[in-house]
Structure formats: C-alpha cells, structure tokens
Amino acid sequence: MVALTFAILNTWIALAGSIGIVLPSGGSVSFLYGFIFCVLCNFALAASLGELAAIWPTAGGQYHFVYALCTDKWKKSMSFWVGWTNIAGWLTLVTTEGFFCAQFIQAAAVIASNGTYQIKQWATYLIFLAVLTFTTGANIWGNRILGRWNDAALYWSILAVVVISIVLLATADKNDARFVFTDFQNETGWSDGLAWILGLLQSALSLIGFDAALHMTEEMPNPAIDAPRAIIYAIGVGGVTGVAFILVILFCITDPETVLNTPTNMPITELIFQATGSRAGATVLTLALAVCFVNGTNGCVTSTSRLLYAMARDKGVVYHDYFAHITPGLDVPVRTIMLTFVFNVLFGLLYLGPSVAFGAYVSSTTIFLNVSYVFPVVVLLIRGRDVLKEWQSKNTYFALGRSGWFINWVAAIFVIVTSVFFTFPGKLPVSSNNMSKEPFLGDLKSFKSDYGTYWIVYGKTFEGPVSNIERQRHEYTRLQQRYLQKFDVIMGQPYTDESAPISTKEGSSTGPDEKAQQVVAVGTALDWPDAQKHAQQVRKWGIKQLLEIWNKAKHKERDAMLWGDEVEYIVVRYSKDAPKVLLSLRQADILSALAADEELSAKGGGVPDLQDVKVQNSNPLPVFHPEFGRFMLEATPGKPWGPSIKELLDVESDMKTRRKIAKDHMESEEYPLTLTTFPRLGVPGPFTDPYYPPSGSKLRSQFVPDEIANPHIRFPTLAANIRWRRGRKVQVNVPIFHDENTPNPWKDPTVNYDLHNWPEDDDVRNGAAPDNFIHMDAMAFEGRKMYDQLSPLGPIMLALTAATPIYKGFLADTDVRWNQISRSVDDRTAEELGEKPLKENQRRIPKSRYASNSTYISTDSRLRPEYFYPDLAIDESIKAQLVKGGMDDLLATHFAHLFIRDPIVIFNEDLEELDLTKTDHFENLQSTNWQHMRFKPPPAGSDIGWRVEFRPMEIQITDFENAAFSVFMVLISRAILSFDLNFYIPIVKVDENMETAHARDAVLEKKFYFRKNPFPNRASRSAAGSNANSPTTSRPASPVSPVEDEYTLMTVDEVINGSKSEDHDFPGLISIVESYLDAVNVDVQTRCELSTYLDLIRKRANGELWTAAKWIRNFVAKHPAYNRDSVVDDEVTKGLVSAVIDIGEREQASKGWKGLPVPDLEKFLGQFRGGCGSNGVKRTADEIN
C-alpha cells in the first residue's frame, strides 16, 4: 500500500510541475523550507490519522473516524459531511492527476517537434480521456495485477527521480548556494509572510492523497498495521525525494524566466531541455514523467472507487443498492469505478472553458482533502484523547501516547490556517488571469448547499460506516446470539414439574416454581415415529434452501479471513473440606447471573440466549451459551477475530477474561475447568450437585439421569430420537488401561446386567458391554480449499491435543474422545451398519454422524480421483437436483452425502410452509453431521462469507495451551492459502489416521500417513476429476506418479518439526508457519510472543513436553490413593481437580509455577512464560514479578 499511496502522491513530480507558481511566492526560501515545513506538518496529520486507522481500519477512512468519535447527536450528520468532502477531493484529484499526465505528453510533443506542435486545449482534453479510459479499464480488468503495478510504479518513480537528477546535475550550469538556500522573491503583491504561506499550496498539493491507503484497508491482510504504516511511509518517501529534487531544481535553474515562460507549459521539461540540449533526451524524460502520472491516475481511480463503494454500502449515495456492488468474477466495485469515470469525463470539460473555472476546480482538491483529514482530528481534540482508551489496547499497532496532544494540535492548526489562506488569490491586484483560487469560495458555498439539500433528502437512509470486516463480525455475533436458529431460546427452565429441589447459595432448597427464570414456548418437537414421516419433506426443503444460498453466494470470494474459537467449560463444585468433587448443574443460574450483569451487557458481553445483546464497541466482552450438559458452559469472543497477525496476541488474554467472567458469576465453590470430560461422570452414587438418580425416559441410561442434560426440548429430543431411530441405546465402549493390578479379563463393575427398566436394557445382556471395555450408553458423554487441506491435519492435531485418558472413573487405553462422541450420537440402524440385510433402509452407511470427513470438495486441479472415498454413499436424486440447480459436481456430491441422514429433531411448526429466506431445514441436517471438518455456506440474508470449522482438537487445561493451538491453526491456515500448499492424501488414509490418533500416547508412539511434499506442483487438469471448473495452472504439469508415492508414514514429530529421508524432505508445519511469518514481515515483539505458542506445539510433538493426557495419567499414577488398578476414585479425582484449579489460578495471576505442589508441571507446560520485552527477547516469570 505504500507503493499505491506514493504513486498517487508523486511528490517530486508535482513539485516539478509547480515551479512557476511557487517561485514568485517566496522564491527558493518558500520552495525549499516551505516544503520541509509541509512535510513535517503532514507527518503530524498522517500520524494523527494513522492512530485512528490502527483502531478503525475501514474503507470509509475519515468519515468512519468521525462517526466513531462524535457524540450520538452528531455522528451521522458529521460522518456524512466528511465522507462527501473526502469524495469531492478524490474525484477532483483524479482529474488533476489525469490532466498533469496529458500536459506532460503535450510538453513532450512540443519538444520533439522543435516547437512546431502547438498545444491545444481540446487535444489535452482528449489525451486526458485516453488516460482516464486506460486507467478505468485497468481497474476493472487488471485487479489481480494492481498490486504488482503499484510496486512497479514506486520503483519507476524513484528510478525517474534518480535519473533526471543525475542528468540535470551532470549537464546544467549551477546556481550558488546563496540562491538555493536564501533567495527570497515576492511577486504576488501580498506581504512577504503571506506570500510565503500562499507558496505552501503547491507543497501541500504534492503531499495530498495519502489517505488512499485508508480506503484500501479491506483489501489488506493486516489493515490495522498496514494502513498506518502506508500513509506515514508514503509521506516519508515523498519528503525525502521531494527535498532532494527541490535542491536539484534550485541548483540547476539558472534561467528562471525562460523556464517559467516555456511554450511547453511544463517548466521541468524546459529545464531538462536547457540542461541537456537534447530534444530526444528531454522528450524521453518528459514521457517518463507522464508515465508516473498514468500510475497516479490509476491509483486515484482505485481509491476513489473504494471510497464511493464504502459510502454506497453505508447508504450514503443515491441508488446505494446499485452502487454497493462487487462484480462477481472481477472482484471489484465496477459500478463505482464507472461512476468515477463518468464524473471526470463531465467535469474535465471545465478545461475547455475559462481557465479560472478549471483552476478553481483543481485548487479545491487540496482543501477538500485536507478538511477531510483534519475533521476527525479536530473532533478528537474537542472530545479529548481519553475517548481512544476504550478502543486501544496494549497490542494496538500505532498509538501516539503522550505526544498525541501536540501532534494533533500541529495537524489541526496547519490545515485550518492554510485552508483559509489557500482560498486567497495568488497575486494582487486580482484579475481574470490570477484569481484561480478565489472562486473556490463559491465552490465551497455551492458544495455546502448541495450537501445540505442531499442530507435533508437522503440523510435518513445513511446508516453510518460499517467496514466489510465489521459487517461480517456483526453477522457472526448475531448468529452467535441465536443459539437455536428457529427460536428465541431461553435456557434453564426446570426439566419437569417433578424436578428434585435445586441447591441455592445459602444451602437451603427451593422448588422449581420459585426459581426466577424466563420461560417461553419453543415449539413442538416430534418424537421419532412422527418425525420419520416428515424426514423426506425436511430433506427436500433443505435442498431448496441450500440452492437458494448457493445461487446467491457461489461467487462470494475474498471475504476478510475471520475466525473464532469456542471454549467449553465443565463447572465443578470443589471445596478443600468436601470429600469429593461434583459436577454443578447450575447452568441456568450462572447464565442468568451473566445475563443480569448490566456492566457486562453494556460492553457487548453476556448471554445472547437470555437477552438482546448488541455489539457496542470494537472489542466487546465475551458471550456465553448453554451446552448439552447442565454442567457445561460455552464461551466465545464477543466478535470474531480479524485478519491481523498482531490480533493473535489477544486470543490468550481474551480466553483468560472469559474464564474470569464465568468464575465471577459462580458461587465461591464453583470453578469453570477446561477438562474434556469429568473423570467421575457416570459412576455409581452422587457425582452431580444436586444429585439425581440415574433414570429418565429420554436418555434411558444406567449411568446418568435425564436431568444432567439441558432441559430445552431440543436436547432430550435429540438424545431420545437417536436411540429411537437406532432401535437400541448407543454403545460407547472404551478399552480399559491394564495397570499392574487391573484384572484381566476386566468387566465394567458399574454395569447392571439385571436392570429391566426399559426394553433397551437388554442390550448389555446381548453383548453391548464386552469385557475389557468401559461401557457408556448416553449422549452425556478460500473455504473449500481450506476444508480439503486441513482435513489431513485433523488426526495429527487430535493426537497432539490428546487430553482424555479417564472415563467413568477408570483409566482408559486411549487418550482422546473422538470415537466415544461418535458412538454416543450414532443413530445408524442394524441394516445401515450391515448387521442385517437391507429391508427398511436404503443403503449401508459406513460411518456415524460424528466421524471423519468422507469427501474432498475443492476445485483444486491437484485433487486426483484416487484421493476420493471409494463407494461413497450419496443420495443420487439430491445430487442430480443440486447439479441441475447450478452446483458443481464435487460440492453436490458432498451435500448429497450429508443428506443421506435423517433429520433427528423436527419441530411441528416448521412444517407449515417453506421459507427460502431461512436455512432452518438445511441446517437441521447440516448441523447434525459432525464431521471433523465442516463446510458452511453463508447464512441467508447475511454478508458473512463461506465458513470452515476445524473440529478435531481437544480442549486443553490452560488458556495458554488453548490459545497456542488456536493461533497455530490460524497461522497454518493462512500459510496454506499464502503458499498454495497441498496436503492431499487419499481420504481413507485420513480415516486410518483418525483411528491411529486414539492410541495411548499416539503423539510419540504411532505413525500417520502424510504427504511428503506439500509445495505446489500441479497435476494436469485431467487428473483433477470430473470437475470442469478446475482452475488453470501456472506451472507445467508433472508426470503423474502412483498416488502411493505421494505420502508416507511419519510421526507427529516429523509432521510438525520436519522429516528427511531418502525419498522425501518434509520441512515440518512449524517451519512452514515460520516461513509465512517471515513473508508477512511480523515485528520482532509479535514474533517473539508467537514463538512461545509455536514452541509448545514443537515440544509437544517431539515429546519434550507431555500432552494433557500423559500428564493426567502420570498424576493419577503418582497419587498415593491410586492402587494401580485403573480405578480413578473420588480422592484421586479431587487431587487432580485441585491441581487443575491451582494451575488456572497461577495462570490468571501471571505468576510462575515456583512453589506449586503439582508433580511434573514443567514436563507438561514447560517453564512459565514471562512474555517478551520490547526488544523481542523472552523474559522469565521472575523478571516480571
């Protein structure tokens, strides 16, 4: 963006074109020192805007800043006024740059023709039209090369200034230093001081347009960093080249009168010709200057169109719905580009009229833009800089700090004073030839009148600025606030009127009718026999809704890369004096307390399911949601994380904030823990508070009560209908870990083989609880490319985050819980499982609803047929319907596979009529297919882009670990897109890897299939399958080798940290991430902070640090109450929970592990981190305490 901004500034060339105006208004003194003064003041102005851009990086730029800073009374009207002032400046700047280019081309023609060519106004206008047409076309059809074009423009400009300077210094006669540094001339008729101020106009004009970077923020990878950097660096580059070139001009302009009265109308052209005596040389160098202005005009069209698009998107433009449009395929706002073109074609006609009119028009550029620059600064000064504290954080990239007041005042005074004087005529007495700036007063009056009329007519439709990123974030937040899509869900009502008493804070009990809760009707959930009758109708309507979304969003690309995380807590009741730890079932009370917290709600946090929560600032507090279990809470950021690398450093602190807020709204003996499962869930006797005996018609479990599940009708219906459809209870069998004193064979002592409460109780007598297994029987226990490329990483990350070695009070011979969850929601019938011949059901289904992926969906040309799942079960009629509706074969196959399932929870009210503005029927099936990757289309009526969920990782004990794995996945995702990585392996190998990941200590003991070479080496299109829309390749195709040669078995350490052998040299995912960070130029301190996360991943992979599962196993093994018999009793569980609580409290307090009586803590988490100093060097905990 520095290149784009400087290409627009063209500072040194603008100065070269203004010699004839500035020298009579102060001579060398005004030219040199006036420019330096302008540079310094513009640094203050750029820094003031850069500070705001670091907080609000949006295409609206200045008008967004004003909206954010003004009081509610004024924010819309002032934002609207500043927006249109800014637009007016940019529209006139396009004209200015284009005519400068035309005039330099005309000047070159005069020199080349030896004076026979006569400059004509109509010819200049036609050349201007040609330049404008060319740059308009480049903006429409050359979008993908604009970045490289702007880089080339920067190098061209610097090369031109160096070459012209060398030529002039080598060939021209020289003035003495006195002329250069002390000569003062005043031919204006004004006083010397005022003449010097008027001479600043051209210096100010040469630095105008640096806000271009602000209007391009939504196309930047790290806008909060890139935008401030671009505008400040552009002023710096302009200042250096400008001062250097002014010195060259002043030393070489020995005959100012001839130069200023040149027939070329371009003094720099005449100066070059005088110095070199070569017409050819002067012509070539003049055309080089013209090319600089072609580049500048191109950048102006780009920036103006983005600003107009932002204003239209915010309903501040007539026909805003028409102009707020990104053309699919071109990915640019073609309509606002054409609006810019038409405006300049028409207003360029002023050049053919009186020169005074065109001069006033061009002069207005500086004032319009400077006013738009200074207005947010003035508002900030009026409101006080303390208003920024709400928005800034320690990780804000650019903040002025204590110097802010001084810098803001310098910027404000400079613009206010010069804007007044720049309306003065350049020379006295005033005549028709020298009044070019005076008519600006009329222009300004006319503009204000037009603005007032427009505001009266259209102001009410103006919504205020919303950036692309913020718009999507608001949409995400809105969806987070709808826990169940169809209903305004209110959680926490008593499960039945016969519920057992609910424990209260004082230890007494109250009946459910006395409990303060908000209850609403949520619809009638159908039991399975009735739901089954409507399954086909829901599938049919779901496909229609999907096609509606697809046809609206199939061209939606290049959305801001937002991401989010979900942290699930189990809430335990723990006291040092109590004999055991219990699960607290007070989810409803905790959520009610969070919802009632007015301070939390005022800052954007709370419980969306219980209140109307709106995002009220740029960094809202977290929001909380209920989960399936009444002992669980889910917490998410108040809004999704954005594309900034530096923003990744906020993730851990946000997770800490979530945990603290949750704890603050619990009772003193309740704690939110990030354990994957409670070790004693499902044991005989009390393990919940309050206690309920195992029973209930919904779960029909031997081990857990119905009351353990969230009472909202959706959850018990889901559990019941899975069991009902399956025809028996779910079977979740986990292999027991055989310790020294564990019997062999081992029978689960918690299973009651004589229970006869429900027909399904016969299952355990018929082999559902085999020997040596822990038995459980209830549920209590570029998007498409990203979806594909992250799929093979799922098993690796599952093994790396292993954290579940205990089930139902027993040590298991597995470290992760994926398969256990999979079995708990497996609704396949005996026929679908292949245990009986097909009769009632249509097909065999090889996997549970909760399983690894079965499809790849990208149109990547490297996707070979051999990678696909053999004999994939799909609904052929649904696929045909999707393909007929315009969906490509691969994605149609994917959804046709998901839709082989039945909808499990159907509400009777949803069956009345089909609403294509909603997605409830589609989501009914989409959201109950829990694959390890989930591809989610944009929600109906939303600006959100395509979404991908990475689902296999297990929750970690500390916020540091959870942040580390979240950040790592974001970085590897961005590296995949940035480096076009290829991790494809056959999808059946991904399945095998998922099974391998379940082994005890799989991270060190097992090997996984993984691709040897992930770097781009595309196959021919024919190898990409049947998809005709595969992209063309930029590389020659390699010979297609057997697919088995593309992957090999690697340990997790080799995948993460690199592997080298005779047939491959895999760099490792950490190395790839570090290469990505190198490529995006991360600052030293940010890099240091990120390295602490990468170190955890690296060391977990190589075994230097233990997984959570290994640490838990070792903790249990070393506990004095453990008898080496695989039993994790209440005393051991209490010790484990106590240790986890102590670790969390030390982490919250940012204290080290020293003195904490927890065994093997440094083997688990390593040395406590002390953060990074400003020099990017890691500190120890002792250094910060």
Q: What is the DSSP letter of 646?
A: G
Residue-wise pLDDT for 441-468, tens only, equals: 444 444 444 445 555 445 567 767 754 4
**pLDDT at site 698:** 64
CB atoms within 10 A of CB 448: 12
Residue 78 lies inside a defined structural domain of this protein: yes
* Residues of the chain above pLDDT 70, percent: 76
606: left (phi over 0), alpha (psi -120 to 50) or beta: left
Residues 730 and 824: their CA atoms lie apart, in Å, by: 6
Joined together, the tokens standing for residue 669 give 């003996």
Q: Which residue has the higher pLDDT, 340 or 699?
A: 340
Mean pLDDT of the region 377-383:
88
Amino acid 915: pLDDT: 85
Lookup: tokens for 203: 């210096």
Instruction: Check whether 534 has a pLDDT greater than 70.
Output: yes
As to burial, measured by CB atoms within 10 angstroms (0-12 exposed, 13-18 middle, 19+ buried), residue 1181 is middle
3-state secondary structure of 948: strand
* Res 862 pLDDT > 70: yes
Residue 61 has pLDDT above 60, yes or no: yes
Are the C-beta atoms of residues 47 and 232 closer than 8 Å to each other?
Answer: yes
- Residue 775: pLDDT over 50: no
Q: What are phi and psi of 934, to 5 degrees?
A: -130, 130
| Chain segment 599-615, per-residue pLDDT in tens | 676 666 666 655 544 44
Inside any domain, residue 38: yes
Residue 884 has pLDDT above 90, yes or no: yes
pLDDT, tens digit (0-9, with 9 covering 90-100), for 115-171: 788 888 889 899 999 999 999 998 888 877 777 777 788 788 888 888 988 988 888
Judge whether 187 lies within some domain.
Answer: yes
For residue 873, pLDDT over 60 is answered with: yes
User: How far is 306 from 325, CA to CA, in rounded Å?
Assistant: 11
**Which residue is associated with the tokens 């507090």?**
621
**48 neighbors 214 (Cβ within 8 angstroms):** no
Residue 1172 CA to residue 1091 CA, distance in Å, equals 10
- Span 878-883, mean pLDDT? 94
How far apart CA 244 and CA 250 sit, in angstroms, is 10
Task: Provide mean pLDDT across the span 41-66.
Answer: 84
pLDDT score recorded for residue 1017: 66
Contact (Cβ atoms closer than 8 angstroms) between residue 309 and residue 317:
no
Higher-pLDDT residue of 604, 522? 604
If you search the block for the tokens 């390699």, which residue do you land on?
A: 1038
Q: Give the CA angle between residues 789, 793, 797 to the nearest 5°.
A: 150
Q: Which residues make beta-bridge pairs with 443? A: none
pLDDT digits (tens, 9 = 90+) for 311-366: 888 888 888 888 888 787 677 889 999 999 999 899 888 888 877 677 777 777 77
Res 17: pLDDT: 62
Backbone angles phi, psi at 641, to 5 degrees: -75, 145
Closest by CA to 339, choosing from 350, 351, 347, 331, is 347
Residue range 545-552: mean pLDDT, rounded:
87
Residue 252 counted as domain residue: yes
Question: Please, which pLDDT band fits residue 874 given cuts at 50, 70 and 90?
Answer: very high
Domain assignment of residue 509, yes or no:
no
Q: pLDDT value at position 1169?
A: 67
CA distance 272 to 171: 9
Q: How far is CA 1134 from CA 271, 503, 572, 952, 1147, in A?
A: 88, 21, 10, 28, 20
Q: Residue 171 and residue 169: Cα distance in Å, rounded?
A: 6
Q: Which DSSP string do the residues of 437-488 spell out, in sequence order? A: STTHHHHHHHHHHHHHHHHHHHGGG------HHHHHHHHHHHHHT-SSSSS-
Summary mean pLDDT of the chain: 78
Q: Which residue has the higher pLDDT, 433 or 635?
A: 635
Alpha-carbon distance of 852 to 930, in angstroms, equals: 8
**Position 440 pLDDT exceeds 50:** no
Query: What's the whole-number mean pLDDT along residues 691-720?
Result: 73
Does the pLDDT value for residue 481 go beyond 50? no
Interacting residues of 1013 by C-beta distance below 8 A, sequence separation 6+: 982, 1046, 1064, 1066
| Structure confidence by residue, pLDDT tens digits, 646-676 | 889 999 999 999 999 999 999 999 999 999 8
CB atoms within 10 A of CB 599: 9
The angle that helices 876-884 and 535-553 make with each other, rounded to 10 degrees, is 30
SS (H, E, C) 169-217: HHHCCCCCHHHHHHCCCECCCCCHHHHHHHHHHHHHHHCCCHHHHHHHH
Token couple for 555: 């061209």
HEC secondary structure over 22-77? HCCECHHHHHHHHHHHHHHHHHHHHHHHHHHHHHCCCCCCHHHHHHHHCCCCCHHH
Whichever domain contains 391, its CATH number is 1.20.1740.10
Look at residue 315 in the predicted model and tell me its pLDDT. Answer: 82
How many CA atoms does the CB half-sphere of 109 hold within 13 Å?
14
Residues 80-94 have a mean pLDDT of: 86
With cut-offs at 50, 70 and 90, classify the pLDDT of residue 730.
low
pLDDT digits (tens, 9 = 90+) for 273-300: 888 888 898 899 989 888 988 888 888 8
| 104 domain-assigned | yes
Q: Roughly how many angstroms between the first and final C-alpha of the chain, as a whole number? A: 41
pLDDT in tens, 123-136: 989 999 999 999 99
Q: Give residue-wise pLDDT tens across range 178-196.
A: 887 887 777 666 776 776 7
pLDDT at 1184 exceeding the cut of 50: no
Q: 936 CB contacts (<8 Å, ≥6 apart)?
A: 926, 946, 947, 948, 949
Among 36-50, 269-283, 994-1008, 1023-1037, the minimum mean pLDDT is found in 1023-1037
pLDDT-based confidence at residue 1071 (cuts at 50, 70, 90): very high
pLDDT tens figures, 797-809:
999 999 999 988 8
**Res 239: pLDDT:** 84
- Residue 16 pLDDT greater than 80, yes or no: no
With respect to residue 426, please indicate whether it lies within any of the assigned structural domains: yes
pLDDT at 1014: 93
Q: Does the residue 155 lie in any domain?
A: yes
**Which of 491-495, 527-531, 866-870, 1088-1092 has the weakest average pLDDT?**
491-495
Which residues are CB-neighbours of 849 under 8 A, at least 6 positions away? 822, 825, 826, 827, 901, 928, 929, 930
With beta carbons less than 8 A apart as the criterion, state whether 841 and 1011 touch. Answer: no
Give 960 or 870, the one with higher predicted confidence.
960
pLDDT computed for residue 488 by the predictor: 33
Q: Report long-range pairs for 853-856 (Cβ below 8 Å, ≥24 apart).
A: 853/791, 853/794, 853/931, 853/932, 853/933, 853/987, 853/990, 854/897, 854/931, 854/987, 855/890, 855/893, 855/894, 855/897, 855/987, 856/787, 856/788, 856/791, 856/890, 856/984, 856/987
Copy the structure tokens of residue 310. Answer: 């932002």
Check whether 922 has a pLDDT greater than 80: yes
Q: 1116 vs 152, 739, 1109, 1132, CA distance in Å?
A: 63, 12, 11, 7
The percent of residues in the chain predicted with pLDDT above 90, rounded, is 25
Domains identified in the chain, total number:
1
Q: Which domain holds residue 351?
A: 2-466
Q: Which of 250-264, 730-744, 892-906, 1142-1156 is the least confident region?
A: 730-744
What pLDDT is stored for residue 732 in this prediction? 67
d(CA 21, CA 15): 10
Residue 565, pLDDT above cutoff 50:
yes
SS3 state of residue 584: strand
Go through the chain and tell me how many residues it has.
1185
Report the pLDDT averaged over residues 87-94: 87
**Burial (CB count <10 Å: 0-12, 13-18, 19+), residue 449:** exposed
Beta bridge partners of 811: 806
Model confidence, pTM: 0.60
Question: Which position has the token pair 């001839």?
Answer: 258
Q: Kindly state the DSSP code that residue 1169 receives in the 8-state scheme.
A: E
Pairwise CA distance, residues 967 & 949, whole Å: 14
Degrees to nearest 5, angle at CA 503 with 498 and 509: 70
3-state secondary structure (DSSP) of residue 1179: strand
